[in-house]
Structure 1
Amino acid sequence: MTLRKWFHLFWTTLVLGMLASTLIGLILQFSDRDFTVIGVSAVGFNVANMILGGATISVLSQMGFFAYLIVRFIMMGLIRSKTVWDMLQLAVVIVVLFDLVYLRYSNFAKAGSDTILSYFLMPVILLGISIGVSYWKMKMTNKIAFIPTLFFMVAVTVCEAVPALKLDNTASNWFMLAPLLVCNAWQILILHKILENKKS
């Protein structure tokens, strides 16, 4: 990874994060009149804040990506068996998806009005997108890339989105999750091209 390659990854991810947050922010603003960024409903002011928010989210995504690469490198040195490492990653994915339903339901559900099924929508969408990105990565590289990509797209994305997930607000959740998914997908899919190692 040279400085020039890192700059390319940084700026492209930054631009994608700003575009994704602006797009999802405008969709949320025009579909939900109560949705505002920092409490101001003026569209022009909100667009500027959406762009800045997207830039911040993209930097958070990049920090999570490099943290994941470091943790993965360390764990692969500690756990020599690829099968054990893959099973551990799958177990974490299952726990994260379960917690995404259970913890949000137990903390935010209103007695008599909310059902647990309504809390399954976000994890199902997240899992569907993650499986699609993992399959795409596997097709571009090789079959052993599926589980690490799935782990990154589910577990790391949810960890990065914790500030928004602590709020009982669907619009805020998607305003943070959508740019994170775009940025994380971009980084994991472009990594082998940047490193010029198609089968690693």
Structure 2
Amino acid sequence: MNTRKLVYLFVSTLLIGASSGAIIGILLDTETYFSGGFFNFFFGLLWMFGMSAAISLVAQMGYFAYLTLQRFALGVFKSVRLWNRIQVVLILFVLFDLIYLRYIAFATDEETLWGYVLMPVLLFLYCMAVAFQKQKETNKETFVPALFFMFVVTTIEWVPALTVDIVNDTKWLWIYLTPLLTANTWQLLTLHRLTRASQQNKG
């Protein structure tokens, strides 16, 4: 990996995360953006793009933090299988917490636990699909680490939105989550392609 490819990964991830967040933000609140004329739309779009760009930067920091954790864990446990089993346990723990702790924190008397199941399950299924794609493009040993990164690390990055009352609104939860998901998906599925291209060029 040379500097040019690292810069490409950084800039492309930033733009993809920011653009996806801006698009979702507008689609989920069209009345606010389209009811006040061109300048209202333009500055609203600019604000949403900037906020989503900041969120995508968090995703980039999370990705490189996970790459460091992966190296450290493999050095400590000396076994890919053991580390993968630990990651599976953590994935299940986070899935449970993402449903139950949000229910405990935000549910009203009229709401049931089932109302807090849909979003975590959809997120988990999406992360599974990305992990399968990663496995398809690399090897079977990458499935669990990919799923761990997509689900656990994305959830950790999502925590600020999950713990603030004002954003316990489905619209804002998706606005915060979308840049994280798109940025993390792009990073996960792009890095090995860039690395592979570098190795081929050396060969």
With normalisation by structure 2, the TM-score equals 0.89
- Bigger proportion of residues as helix: 2
Q: CA RMSD in A?
A: 1.8
Distance 1:197 1:131 in 2: 26
Please report how far the alpha carbon of residue 44 of structure 1 lies from its aligned counterpart in structure 2 after TM superposition.
2.5
Give ranges in structure 1 of 5+ residues lacking alignment.
36-41
Distance 2:149 2:98 in 1: 15
Structure-to-structure mapping, 1:26-175, within 5 angstroms: 26-30=26-30, 42-111=40-109, 113-167=110-164, 168-175=168-175
Give ranges in structure 2 of 5+ residues lacking alignment.
34-39, 199-203
Please report how far the alpha carbon of residue 46 of structure 1 lies from its aligned counterpart in structure 2 after TM superposition.
1.5
Please report how far the alpha carbon of residue 145 of structure 1 lies from its aligned counterpart in structure 2 after TM superposition.
0.8
With normalisation by structure 1, the TM-score equals 0.90
Please report how far the alpha carbon of residue 17 of structure 1 lies from its aligned counterpart in structure 2 after TM superposition.
0.8
Please report how far the alpha carbon of residue 34 of structure 1 lies from its aligned counterpart in structure 2 after TM superposition.
7.6
Shift in alpha-carbon separation, 1:59–1:121, aligned structure 2, 3 A: same
Task: Give the number of aligned pairs.
Answer: 190
Distance 2:72 2:121 in 1: 30
* One-letter amino acid matched to 2:53: A
1:8 aligns with 2:34: no
Shift in alpha-carbon separation, 1:118–1:75, aligned structure 2, 3 A: same
Distance 1:2 1:67 in 2: 19
Shift in alpha-carbon separation, 1:170–1:34, aligned structure 2, 3 A: farther
Please report how far the alpha carbon of residue 74 of structure 1 lies from its aligned counterpart in structure 2 after TM superposition.
0.4
* One-letter amino acid matched to 2:41: V
Distance 1:6 1:182 in 2: 18
For the residue of structure 2 that corresponds to 1:92, the secondary structure is: helix
Distance 2:32 2:108 in 1: 20
Distance 1:186 1:48 in 2: 22
Decide which structure has the larger Cα Rg and report it.
2
The CA deviation string for residues 103-149 of structure 1, in whole angstroms up to 9 with x for no partner, is 100010001x1010010011111111101000001110111111000
Identity across the alignment (%): 40
Distance 1:109 1:44 in 2: 36
